Structure 1
Amino acid sequence: MTKSTTEALLALRNVIDELLGENGCPWDKEQTPQTLCDYLLEETYELVDAIRSGSVIDVREEMGDVAFLILFISSLYEKEGFTLADSMQENAAKMIRRHPHVFGELDIQNVEEVWANWEKIKRTEKQSDAEDKPKGTFDSLPKGLPSLLKAYRLNSKAARVGFTWNSDADVEKQYHAEWKEFQDALASGDTEAITSEFGDVLFTLVELGRRKGIKANTALDGTNLKFLDRFEKMEALSHERGMTFSDLSFEEMDALWDEVKKQSS
C-alpha cells in the first residue's frame, strides 16, 4: 500500500534517527550541515538531470535522495533549536504573504505585476542585521549559483525593480554594441579586455534570451546534451566502420557529424 507523504517522511526520519543513533553508522554520525553541502548540491544536480532527461523513474529516485539530505540536515539543526516543521510552516506563511493576489484581495493583471509585487514584498520583509534598512535587491541571490543562471537571475531581479531596457530592440542594439567592443578587444590583443568584453556579450545575450522567455542555462544544457549525443554517435559510427576516431581528419569527422545530424533530424 502506498504510504501518505506524512507517513513516508516519518519513515525516512526514523531511518536517519537510526543512522545517527548509538548503534548507527560511524560515517553518518560524523557529518555536519557543512559537510553535507556538497552532497546536497550533487544530488540536486542529479535530480535536475533526471527531470531534463524525461525519465520519471530517475526523477522518483533522485527526488528521494534530495529529500533524504534535507531531512538529514534538518535533524542536525534541531540542536540549534528549530525543526523541519518550523521551516515548512514559515515557508507556507511566506508564500501566503507573497501571494496577496491569491490569498488576499490584491488585483494583479499579469505575470510582470506578480513579480514586481513579489520583489516589493520581499524587500520590506526583512531588515538588514547591520543597518536598519530594507534588504537590497540582490541580497538573497546565492553566491554559488552557476554563472549563466546567476546572470539570468541578476537580469531578472533588476528588471523587476525597473532597471532594464525599454524594448527587446534596445537589448539587441546593446548586444551588437557589446559584440563590436569584443571584436575591438580581440584586435587589440589585450587578454584582460578580451575576457571582460566576452563576458559582457554573454551577459547581454542572457538578458535578450530572458526577455524572449528563454533561460540561458537550460538552453545551453540542452545544446550540451545534443552535442554529446551526436558526438558519441559519431564515435560509434567510426568504430562500426573500422576507423580510429582520433585519427580522422576534421573533414572526415565533420562528414560523420553531418551524417549523424541527418539521422537525428
Structure 2
Amino acid sequence: MAQQHIIEDMLAVMARLRDPEHGCPWDLQQNFSTIAPYTVEEAFEVAEAIAAGDMHGLRDELGDLLLQVIFHARLAEEQGLFDFSDVTRGLIDKMIRRHPHVFGDQQGASIAQIKDTWEATKAAEHAQAGKARKSALDGVPEGLPALQRAAKLQKKAARVGFDWRDVQPVLAQVRAELDELEAAMQSGVAEEITDELGDVLFSVVNLSRHLKNDADMSLRGASHKFERRFRMMEQMAAEQGQSLDDMNVAALEALWVAAKARLK
C-alpha cells in the first residue's frame, strides 16, 4: 500500500473516532489539554524502546506518537485552525529552510556552521512571527524534564561564550557544589539543602554535557542497572528461602555484591 494511502487511511480513522454521532465517546471528550499528557508519555515510550534496543517496540511506539500528532491536527481542523496537511507542509518548508547546506548554496558547511545557521534561522522565524527572543535562554520549554531542560539552558548559554573551555573546571565545580551541599546538611536548614542539592545536580548535568554525554540517558542506564541488580538480589534471596525485608543491612550489602558478580 502506498504511503500516501496509509496516511489517508489513518486520517480517516481519526475522523471516524471523532464523528459526533458514531465516534468513540472517549475520543469525543478529548481536547488539546487532555491529550497533551499522552503526547509527552508516548515520546518517553519511544525513548524507552530505543534505550532497550527494542526495534519491534520502537515501531509500535512511533505509531502511537504519530497518533498523537494526528489527534492534535484533527482537533485543530475541527476548529478551523489548521489540518494535518498544514502541519506536514510547514515541517517540509522548515526543514528545507533550516538546511541550506543540503537544499541551498551552503554545501560543505562544517557542523559548527550548520548549528549556527540552524539557530540563526530559528531566531529569524521567531522574529518574523512577532516572537523575537529577548534572552539567549529563550525557547527552552518549562515542561521539559529537569535534566533535559538544564542541559538545554547550558547549551544556550554556551553559544554566547558563557562556558568552561575544558572539562577539568567543570569537575572541580561538581566537587565544590558537593562541599556546599555537605555544609547545608550540617546546618540542617531544609531550604538550603534543597537549593544546594539542585546545584549539585545542575553541575553534574554540565559535566555530562562536557563529556559529550546525555545526562538523561546516563541516568536511565543507571536506573536500569540498579533494577537488574535489585531484581537479582530478590531472586537470590528467594533461592535461599529468604526475603529482602527479613535481612539486616550487612546481609543486604553482601547480597548486593553477590548479585553484581552474578550479573557480570
Structure 1 residues 32, 162: closer, same or farther in 2, change over 3 A? same
CA contact 1:33–1:76 (8 Å) conserved in 2: yes
Determine the C-alpha separation between the residues in 2 that align with 1:155 and 1:247: 46
Equivalence for 2:99: 99
Mapped to 1, the partners of 2:137 and 2:217 lie a distance apart of 22
Q: Decide whether aligned partners of structure 1 residues 235 and 148 sit closer, same or farther in structure 2, where only a CA change above 3 A counts.
A: same
Pair 1:53 & 2:52 matched: yes
In the TM superposition, residue 259 of structure 1 has moved relative to its aligned partner by: 1.5
- The residue correspondences of 1:31-50 to structure 2 (distance < 5 A) are 31-50=30-49
Deviation digits for residues 92-113 of structure 1, max 9, x if unmatched?
Answer: 2222222222222336654333
Distance in 1 separating the partners of 2:135 and 2:161: 14
- Which moved further from structure 2: 113-122 or 209-218? 113-122
The amino acid that maps onto 1:113 is Q
C-alpha displacement at 1:31, in angstroms? 1.2
Name the SS for the 1:143 alignment partner. coil
List runs of 5+ in structure 2 lacking aligned partners. none
Report the alpha carbon displacement of residue 251 of structure 1 after superposing the two structures with TM.
Answer: 1.5
**Counterpart Cα distance in 1 of 2:108 and 2:160:** 17
Question: After the TM superposition, which residues 1-265 of structure 1 pair with which residues of structure 2 at under 5 Å, given as runs?
Answer: 3-21=1-19, 22-78=21-77, 79-106=79-106, 110-127=110-127, 133-134=132-133, 136-265=135-264
TM-score by length of 1: 0.90
User: Amino acid of the residue matched to residue 84 of structure 1?
Assistant: F
What are structure 1's unaligned runs of at least 5 residues?
Answer: none
TM-score normalised over the length of structure 2: 0.90
CA deviation vs aligned residue, 1:81-136 (integer Å, no higher than 9, x gap): 311221222122222222222222336654333323322222222128778x4453
Task: Work out the CA distance in 2 between the residues paired with 1:239 and 1:134.
Answer: 59
* Contact 1:119–1:161, Cα closer than 8 Å, also in 2: no
C-alpha deviation, 1:183, in angstroms? 2.3
| Cα distance in 2 for residues equivalent to 1:210 and 1:5 | 39
Aligned residues: 262
Provide the C-alpha distance between the structure 1 equivalents of 2:133 and 2:44, rounded to a whole number of angstroms. 33
Larger CA deviation: 54-63 vs 137-146: 137-146
Inter-partner Cα distance in structure 1 for 2:130 and 2:119: 21
Identity %: 36
